[in-house]
Amino acid sequence: MENPGEQVQSASNHLQRRMRERRFLPLFTVVQFPNQDCKALTGDNGTCMSQYECKASGGISSGICANNFGVCCLFMVTCGQTSNRNGSYFVNKNYPAPNDETGSCQVTLRKAHPDVCQYRIDFIQFSLMGPEQVNHLCNSDQFLVSGSSPVPPICGKNTGSHIYVDAGDLGLPVMLTIITSGASFSRNWKMRISQIPCNSNMKAEDGCLQYYSGVSGQIKSFNYEPNSGLQLSNQDYTMCIRSERNFCSIQYSACPDLGNVKPFRISFHSNNVESPNDMGNRGFCIEYVQQPCTNNLVQYVNGNNNF
């Protein structure tokens, strides 16, 4: 039988051995956080990730998030690259410097998840050469979308505008192409690509190229500028407004007159260069305000107004 002194000594040796082993164990804590949206130092919207995950995914760290445990990760794609992440940006070569080269710049869009139904493309910056002045065709520069629902050619200045395109089948990509030609021009573009799930309230109705939300806002034609813009030819598309809850009608009015622009005007071309005094083909800007439901009106929630 072991005597008490030997028991105490054995226990002491065991404790000392455990303490020595503990000194060699690494002390660290694994912090997990969701990949939520974040605001980068540049002002862009990014995704909160660990620094390792951001670098491994090909992103750019810009600022911190998740109580300093993560970085705000930006994903930028340019000519010849593929975007398969929600919130990626399509930018011109050498961005943020402008690009005056001619040629074709194309990126491929692929779904990040099978449940993605649409891509929303916000034109954060969009400055291409405008249309020619006789028929208002985009002959020099063009923004084109292929592999999806029809999108008319777009050119000129369209910063602040947006479009929706169908994401299509999982195996078929959507292509965004910018073609530049003609004289030297300071072009730049930066487009945010949002992947819209099929069950999202931001999903546009079928056939809507543009989809506006909120109780008020402005709707503009592409390349709209009160003093110098030209309404593009061959534009055949639908602009939709989501009807907000407890609002039953919409009031439309012309935007403040900044250049004698005439809304709701149907005009024709005479195959001559437009006179500087003729403002009829500048495009249109319309303000809308949704009107609350009254007791004698039928209320609807999920309707849309298209024109």
pLDDT value, residue 79: 96
In a domain, 207, yes or no: yes
Q: Quote the domain boundaries for residue 59.
A: 37-74
> Which tokens is 178 given?
């910018």
Strands (E), 113-255: 116-127, 142-146, 162-166, 174-180, 188-197, 208-212, 216-220, 238-242, 247-254
State the pLDDT at residue 276: 47
Q: How many domains does the chain have?
A: 2
Is the pLDDT confidence value at 16 over 90?
no
Are the C-beta atoms of residues 281 and 267 closer than 8 Å to each other? yes
Going along 66-172, which residue ranges are E strands? 70-74, 76-77, 82-83, 88-91, 103-109, 116-127, 142-146, 162-166
Same domain, 113 and 205: yes
Residues 203 and 67 in one domain: no
Amino acid 84: pLDDT: 92
Interatomic CA distance for residues 307 and 72, integer angstroms:
39
- Quote the pLDDT of residue 147: 92
Least confident of 68-82, 149-163, 264-278: 264-278
User: Closest Cα partner for 68 from 95, 45, 48?
Assistant: 48
Same domain? For 254 and 109 the reply is yes
Residues 6 or more apart from 149 whose CB is under 8 A from it?
A: 165, 166, 207, 209
Q: Is residue 299 assigned to a domain?
A: no
pLDDT digits over 185-195, tens only?
Answer: 899 999 999 99
Section 197-210 average pLDDT: 94
Contact 281, 230 (CB under 8 A): yes
Q: Tell me the pLDDT band of 277, cut-offs 50, 70 and 90.
A: very low
pTM above 0.85, yes or no: no
Question: Is residue 303 assigned to a domain?
Answer: no
**Residues 82-131: pLDDT tens digits?**
999 999 999 999 999 999 989 999 999 999 999 999 999 999 999 999 99
Q: What is the pLDDT of residue 134?
A: 87
**pLDDT exceeding 90 applies to what percent of the chain?**
60
How far apart CA 84 and CA 76 sit, in angstroms, is 11
Under DSSP, is residue 47 helix (H, G, I), strand (E, B) or coil? strand
Bridge pairing between strands 37-39 and 76-77: unpaired
Q: Do 41 and 135 fall into the same domain?
A: no
Report the C-alpha gap between 233 and 155 in whole angstroms.
Answer: 11
Tell me: the pLDDT tens digits for 232-262? 998 999 999 999 999 999 999 888 865 555 5
Residue 192 lies in a domain: yes
In whole numbers, what is the pLDDT of the chain averaged over residues?
83
Token pair in block for residue 295: 């007791």
Mean pLDDT for 65-81 is 93
My answer on whether 222 and 205 are in the same domain is yes
Helix (H) or strand (E) holding 22: helix 4-23
* Domain co-membership, 224 together with 87: yes
My answer on whether 45 and 154 are in the same domain is no
Query: How many other CB atoms are there within 10 angstroms of residue 77's CB atom?
Result: 21
Of 25, 51, 74, the residue that ends a domain is 74
Residues 256 and 241 in one domain: yes
Q: Is the pLDDT of residue 272 over 80?
A: no
Tally of residues, the chain: 307
